[in-house]
Structure 1
């Protein structure tokens, strides 16, 4: 339903996730990408557009499963505790409700192993967690500590350099990992990251992190810019109801990202952040906010500014065959936005937050557009999945191909 769209309500649902092979079926992350609140919110949005009650039923069950899974693999910030008895009772009631749902599901003519396993695991977790908290042996209980993710993390890091180590190599790798506190998520693994920051005492040190610097922005000549503007259409494309909802969610994400990673003040953001507003383009965001206060709601003025930027980007990207690369497309859209900035009066001048929001938005959109372009080229040429190397490389290849006429 969204294969050809740039703005997707469920961008995590790739082909490998929806149609996994034998090995991909064993990956926990693939299941989590399908059965989470984001997918449920996307289904609810599409169900309202298509008036499909079946989608609403599926979304309802996904929300129940996601709530159950979140409690059973709870980690930082989501542990069970008697310190807030109301939340504890709510979590336990949610688990018991899912037990009844699983018990009432009919799959074929007999019970399936996953149904029995779900009931045993859930009932056992409730019993053990309650007993540990009532005996006051523990102040809180992490559901993730009942899984084997921690040991799987360690094994995968050891095997990352040598898939089949001998006893000496295993011992050496284990010693080096513990001493250096080295831990990372292995790509394409079959488990979730355990979030364990250290394998030993804090005196052993920590991991050194390297920052990646973004390349400098491309420049565009005045002649090229004027020639592009001279052929600019008189009207911009309209956005669908789904696109508006997804864009509003993206606006909150971008504003939150700028506030967290760049220098801004309260004066910059006071007029841009509002309480939840009632509008047709906020339905998707409200549906994704499974707990109050988690998501950022932007003002109507800021949303319309992003909507205008999105329309300009779509118009410019549709004619990207006349541009040398995607960085030039990014620069072009920014120049056009700057020339029409006086139409919007929702920004304070103190920290140039409008420029920071624009750069972050364009970086996000170029990445999405590049990935979508790569997929289109692969479908058109029936190329193998590794032909482009990366979404950015594929996007640049597409632009150079359409410009020179060569493959």
Structure 2
């Protein structure tokens, strides 16, 4: 019965099915998240198969005719550029001594996830709404995948993961001098320091504005000088309007 139905179908169905299989396999190679599907020269024979397939995919989409006119489409440009880039990158990385290359690290799934979270409340946000939603996403760890979305969940670590870490309270037996000892600052880049300083200033401003705390507490968390501050490094920090300089 199945064979009879297949014989009755037009030959174009077979072409469409073959094209879908090619694109599906191409997507699996271009978004590998496990070492099993990763590009690696550990086994040369297994390594050459996906490389040959990606090269054939480039030739396929370069000669592909879409529509009645057969004009060049943006999807062809995207696939050819993405595939060519991955082939060049993996060759350089494997030559440098890397054991394997996970191509999923070069996708923009994390960016798509963030945009999806921002558009949860309003699918078409205004610039002000986008800025406010971005702050909520960054500070409040609102980075969760939408149930009805079409994006894969990104498994990378987040910049604000420290918000999810539960620190244990100090032992009651410690002396006050021991509690006041500052721990060594973490090894952060200039960009991370600027982001943390900006975030801290925003939080201090909100605490002082909406919380009823005494002047002593305010002076403990806020710098005495609220003038804009900038450094001569590449990452300058300026606080205007809604920020306070924290006491760090």
Deviation at 1:205, TM superposition (A): 5.0
Deviation at 1:91, TM superposition (A): 0.5
Structure 1 vs Structure 2 CA RMSD: 3.1
Does 1:69 find its partner at 2:27?
yes
Question: Is the partner of 1:141 in helix, strand or coil?
Answer: coil
1:150 pairs, out of 110, 127, 147, with 110
Q: Distance in 1 between matches of 2:39 and 2:3?
A: 32
Number of residues of Structure 1 aligned to a counterpart in Structure 2: 157
Partner of 1:139: 99
Q: Provide closer, same or farther for how the CA distance between residues 167 and 68 of structure 1 changes in structure 2, counting only shifts above 3 A.
A: closer
Q: Provide closer, same or farther for how the CA distance between residues 168 and 192 of structure 1 changes in structure 2, counting only shifts above 3 A.
A: closer
Q: Distance in 2 between matches of 1:192 and 1:151?
A: 10
Higher Cα radius of gyration: 2
Deviation at 1:96, TM superposition (A): 1.0
- How high is the TM-score relative to the length of structure 1? 0.34
Does 1:193 find its partner at 2:157?
no
Q: Deviations over 1:215-270 (max 9, x none)?
A: xxxxxxxxxxxxxxxxxxxxxxxxxxxxxxxxxxxxxxxxxxxxxxxxxxxxxxxx
Deviation at 1:104, TM superposition (A): 2.3
CA contact (8 A) 2:33 2:102 kept: yes
Q: Name stretches of at least 5 consecutive residues in structure 2 with no aligned partner.
A: 167-248
Deviation at 1:173, TM superposition (A): 3.3
* Mapping of residues 330-341 of structure 1, within 5 Å: none
Q: Provide closer, same or farther for how the CA distance between residues 128 and 199 of structure 1 changes in structure 2, counting only shifts above 3 A.
A: same
Question: Is the partner of 2:42 in helix, strand or coil?
Answer: coil
Q: Deviations over 1:185-216 (max 9, x none)?
A: 21444x5214316425589359xxxxxxxxxx
Deviation at 1:135, TM superposition (A): 1.2
* Mapping of residues 3-402 of structure 1, within 5 Å: 48=6, 50-76=8-34, 77-107=36-66, 108-136=69-97, 138-161=98-121, 164=125, 165=129, 167=131, 170-177=134-141, 183-189=143-149, 192-196=151-155, 198-200=157-159, 204-205=164-165
Q: Provide closer, same or farther for how the CA distance between residues 158 and 112 of structure 1 changes in structure 2, counting only shifts above 3 A.
A: closer
Q: Distance in 2 between matches of 1:45 and 1:160?
A: 47
Q: Provide closer, same or farther for how the CA distance between residues 204 and 188 of structure 1 changes in structure 2, counting only shifts above 3 A.
A: closer
Q: Distance in 1 between matches of 2:48 and 2:30?
A: 15
